[in-house]
Amino acid sequence: MLSQLKVGQFRCFEKFEARFEPGINLIVGPNAHGKTSLLEAACLLLRLQSPRTSRLGEIIRHNERGLLVDGHFKAAHLQFYYSPQRKKLALDSVEQRTASEYLKLGRVVWFSNQDVELVREGADVRRRFIDFVASQIDPSYRKALRDYEKCLRSRNLLLKAPVPRWREIQAFEEPLVTAGEQLIKSRHALITALRPLAQLAHANISGAREKLHLEYLPNAAAPLAEALAAARPEDTRLRMTTAGPHRDDLQLLLGPAPATLGSEGQQRTLVLSLRLSAARLLEAHHAEPPLLLLDDIFGELDLSRRAALLEQLPKNAQQIITTTRREWLPPELQAHVLDLESR
Ligand SMILES: Nc1ncnc2c1ncn2[C@@H]1O[C@H](COP(=O)(O)OP(=O)(O)OP(=O)(O)O)[C@@H](O)[C@H]1O
Ligand SMILES: [Mg+2]
């Protein structure tokens, strides 16, 4: 469990320290008091990434150079410093050259009141969800994703030349294809594993009125090398790489219909089920529940969905829950409270 979290120059915090207990932790406070920021810091500490954004520069406190997150998770002391110029990682005060040992320690599932964007927004939001979970299941996923993105940037840059030099472009294709194929394989395996878990969670929360279906939609249907070759005329015309896993999507259906057509409540139930399926999968895969970070989601759920969610969350998982109001909490629920009101 996460027992202590310190942040420095992190969003609205110049410096702040929080302690957490096993079980349920509540962060309570009015709007703009740093509740979401603290949850994000916990996520960054364990996973070295934000669940909200891939641009870490945004979460450095305005006019400061770099941010620091520091904390104790299980028996380990984790430290991460980030600035656009420099990243520094330490595990038990020993600086780490790579993140691989560090990232083995803790897993996180993030639930947020913004989650309906998984249904409503573009494919990039769903890919971020997939990537976030996949990299917690398969340690080599993160590297494959980075390699892929790097090769893709280089390839796109070469495609911008007035006359693309295909021989040079081809030189980037081999590592691009290797990394890309790995992403496709891992994503396929992930969605296959999440599907029944999400369907079960969905049936339990919604009372099984309509069936949830998840389908991985790889952009490159053929082997990636063939898809790239076939897309050359299009790539030349548009001067960018048009085929590959950077355009993958996750299709969400309620019964036969796209989830975008569902009601507000149906969409909220769907995204809860997705997040729960990730928690269940991580719990099964690592034989321990992930840390659950729940950002302001209970306030807007109706009573039955609130109860169903509490019931569905992995037992024994440490939970950090933010809220502006405490009223919705069942009185019998024991929680450690961190009050940001007076901050
Ligand atoms: N990079 C930054 N530097 C300084 N302040 C920031 C930065 N990013 C965000 N903030 C500010 O941090 C404050 C706290 O934001 P946060 O989202 O954590 O609040 P919150 O308590 O979750 O509020 P709400 O209840 O509205 O969700 C906000 O006023 C926000 O504008
Ligand atoms: Mg918030």
Instruction: Identify the structural domains of the chain with CATH numbers, from first to last.
Output: 1-106+290-343 (3.40.50.300)
Ligand 1 contact via 112 beta carbon (within 6 Å): no
Whole-structure pTM value: 0.94
At 255 the three-state DSSP class reads coil
**Of 5, 9, 10, 11, best ligand 1 pocket probe by most atoms within 8 Å of the beta carbon:** 11
Separation of 70 CA from ligand 1 center, angstroms? 19
| Closest ligand to the CA of 37 | 1
What lies within 8 Å, CB to CB, of 292 at 6+ separation is 108, 109, 111, 279, 313, 314, 317, 318, 319, 320
Separation of 269 CA from ligand 2 center, angstroms? 20
**Of 5, 12, 343, best ligand 1 pocket probe by most atoms within 8 Å of the beta carbon:** 12
Separation of 75 CA from ligand 1 center, angstroms? 30
Ligand 1 contact via 12 beta carbon (within 6 Å): yes
Please list the pLDDT of the chain residue by residue as tens digits (343 residues).
999 999 999 999 999 999 999 999 999 999 999 999 999 999 999 999 998 888 999 999 999 999 999 999 999 999 999 999 999 999 999 999 999 999 999 999 999 999 999 999 999 999 999 999 999 999 999 999 999 999 999 999 999 998 888 888 988 899 999 999 999 999 999 999 999 999 999 999 888 778 999 999 999 988 999 999 999 999 999 999 999 999 999 999 999 999 999 998 899 999 999 999 999 999 999 999 999 999 998 877 777 888 888 888 888 999 999 999 887 777 777 889 999 987 7
Ligand 1 contact via 277 beta carbon (within 6 Å): no
Separation of 32 CA from ligand 2 center, angstroms? 7
Element containing residue 94 per DSSP (H, E): strand 94-95
What lies within 8 Å, CB to CB, of 334 at 6+ separation is 23, 24
Ligand 1 contact via 297 beta carbon (within 6 Å): no
Nearest CA to ligand 1 atom 12: 12
**Separation of alpha carbons 308 and 327, rounded Å:** 17
Nearest CA to ligand 1 atom 7: 11
**77 touches 83 (CB < 8 A):** no
| Closest ligand to the CA of 30 | 1
Element containing residue 271 per DSSP (H, E): helix 264-286
Rg, Å, the chain Cα set: 21
Q: Report strand pairing: 319-323 vs 249-254.
A: unpaired
**Of 7, 37, 40, 58, best ligand 1 pocket probe by most atoms within 8 Å of the beta carbon:** 37
Ligand 1 contact via 6 beta carbon (within 6 Å): no
Separation of 20 CA from ligand 1 center, angstroms? 21
Separation of 302 CA from ligand 1 center, angstroms? 26
**Separation of alpha carbons 279 and 285, rounded Å:** 10
